[in-house]
Amino acid sequence: MIAQPKASHFVNGAYLEDTAGAVIEVTFPGTEEVIARLHEATPAVIEAAISGAVAAQRAWAAMKPVERSRILMRAVALIRERGAELALLETLDTGKPIQETEVADWPSGADALEYFAGLAPTLTGETMPLGGDFAYTIREPLGVCVGIGAWNYPSQIACWKAAPALSTGNAMVFKPSEVTPLGALKLAEIFIEAGMPAGIFNVVQGRGAAGAALATDPRIAKVSLTGSVPTGARVYQAAAAGMKHVTMELGGKSPLIVFEDADLESAVGAAMLGNFYSSGQICSNGTRVFVQKGVKAAFLKRLAERTAAIRAGDPRDGATQFGPLVNRAQFEKVMGYIATAKAEGARLIAGGAAGNEGPLFVQPTVFADVTDEMTLAREEVFGPVMAVLDFETEEEVIARANGTQFGLAAGVFTGDLARGHRVIGQLAAGTCWINAYNLTPVEMPFGAVKASGLGRENSRAAVEHYTQVKAVYVGLGPVDSPY
């Protein structure tokens, strides 16, 4: 099984190799087999990517918005035509089941490109009448933006960052996570095939040092990172030194609150989706499931039954619902959290051990009787480990749900819509759901408050983060000067 790309990087419209860079071994998490060998970007590769993007960006920004959009729409069509092939590559790169990658990863990326291709030509400035004189505004691109991705949704992240950036006239240098470097190269290839000028979307591989080199370069106007809170803090600090714009999509420990009057089957289904999809490796997961005491027993019973029926297996098999973790480091980290939860007295309801389907499988795991002080309720696991906590009153659960440094997402299940809105209104989270969980259509802003990040992806809101306003005062009469 080989998924070797033509070269490690994609710069100035073509694949580029520099074997002087340290080797990155890409493995298929289903078996830990090596499927590709890439090289980290050397300073020469990073220089070629940045200088190429700088050289190409002005002409791209000067094109009519509909001309840029036409190219992006051609890319959308190519992504959809090649859906099966791209889904398989994503599965090999991440280990996620093909039944997920066929519907979630690239399809969500294509939606983002389509949405921003449609939106960008509609963006206009404002005119301010000033009693004779007037002023107007122009929404301009920032210049060259850096995108840095996490490994859980590599191709979706590349598209979510490229779509608002490129449609509004920016160029981008994208660094995927070194764990999952393959999808972004395909995106770069597709853009060129769709007619995008060389240098507008570049991909360079590397670990944190490559990301840091990009984020600190003075020619870069903006850094958009999807990653952990500690990395976010480092990148934000580096960007601040150069007064760069930032978007930070970081980690979470989001609450999912189930009231007694909720539709329990839906609430159980949402809790499972929000903890087990992508083997739990999703930033917005509802990993603290607060269940009101009156329905606790019924909730746990159905949760245990439905969790036991999950089909884990080879991610390439269309019948598989649940795959491995992305690599050994993540596997060990998650197994460590399971051991800690047991040691701290959480009650195991389901799973709790490694799976036997491959080397990196962890069983879908549920702990009940979790308290706010336990490690499992405080730290992001990024694996298939659900913590169920009990609560009695609305007031109590709101305070406890907010008792965290994170603020990415939140969900409420209730039959009383007034309560749903009232509770969501008091939760400190950027992305919320009432009687749903983890749905992130491109029409809806996605982002965080508190330590989980800042800025928004998707929706009209993302345009604000990839453009800046130029204000122009136009004098129509003689200048009235006291001198």
150 assigned to a ligand binding site: yes
Alpha-carbon distance of 374 to 405, in angstroms, equals: 15
Whether the Cβ atoms of residue 381 and residue 280 lie closer than 8 Å to each other? yes
Task: Provide the β-strand partners of residue 202.
Answer: 173
Q: Is 409 in the site for ligand NDP (CB under 6 A)?
A: no
251 assigned to a ligand binding site: yes
Residue in the structure block whose two tokens are 């609150």:
257
Q: Is 99 in the site for ligand NDP (CB under 6 A)?
A: no
Q: Is 152 in the site for ligand NDP (CB under 6 A)?
A: yes
Instruction: Compute how many other C-beta atoms are within 10 angstroms of the C-beta atom of residue 445.
Output: 17
Which strands sit side by side in the sheet containing 385-391, from one edge to the other? 347-350, 365-368, 385-391, 288-292, 255-258, 409-413, 431-434
Q: Return the residue nearest ligand NDP (CB atom).
A: 211
Catalytic-labelled residue, pool 96, 161, 186, 244: 161
Is 114 one of the annotated active-site residues of the chain? Answer: no
Is 333 one of the annotated active-site residues of the chain? Answer: no
Is 432 one of the annotated active-site residues of the chain? Answer: no
Nearer to ligand NDP, 217 or 249 (CB): 249
Alpha-carbon distance of 334 to 320, in angstroms, equals: 21
Alpha-carbon distance of 258 to 196, in angstroms, equals: 47
Least distance between ligand NDP and beta carbon 322 (Å) = 19
Alpha-carbon distance of 331 to 290, in angstroms, equals: 26
Q: Which stretch binds ligand NDP (CB under 6 A): 51-59, 90-98, 224-232, 347-355?
A: 224-232
Instruction: Out of 196, 408, 454, 463, name the contact with ligand NDP by CB under 6 A.
Output: 408
Q: Which stretch binds ligand NDP (CB under 6 A): 190-198, 225-233, 348-356, 395-403?
A: 225-233
149 assigned to a ligand binding site: yes
Q: Is 105 in the site for ligand NDP (CB under 6 A)?
A: no
Q: Is 111 in the site for ligand NDP (CB under 6 A)?
A: no
Binders of ligand NDP among residues 154 to 213 (CB under 6 A) are 175, 177-178, 207-208, 211-212
Angle at 416 between CA 410 and CA 421, to 5 degrees: 45
Alpha-carbon distance of 76 to 71, in angstroms, equals: 9
Is 40 one of the annotated active-site residues of the chain? Answer: no
Q: Are strands 409-413 and 431-434 parallel, antiparallel or unpaired?
A: parallel
Q: What are the residues binding ligand NDP (CB under 6 A)?
A: 148-152, 175, 177-178, 207-208, 211-212, 215, 225-228, 231, 234-235, 249-252, 283, 380, 382, 408, 453
User: Hey, which residues are catalytic here?
Assistant: 161, 249, 283, 457
Annotated binding site for NAD(+): 149-151, 175-178, 251, 283, 380
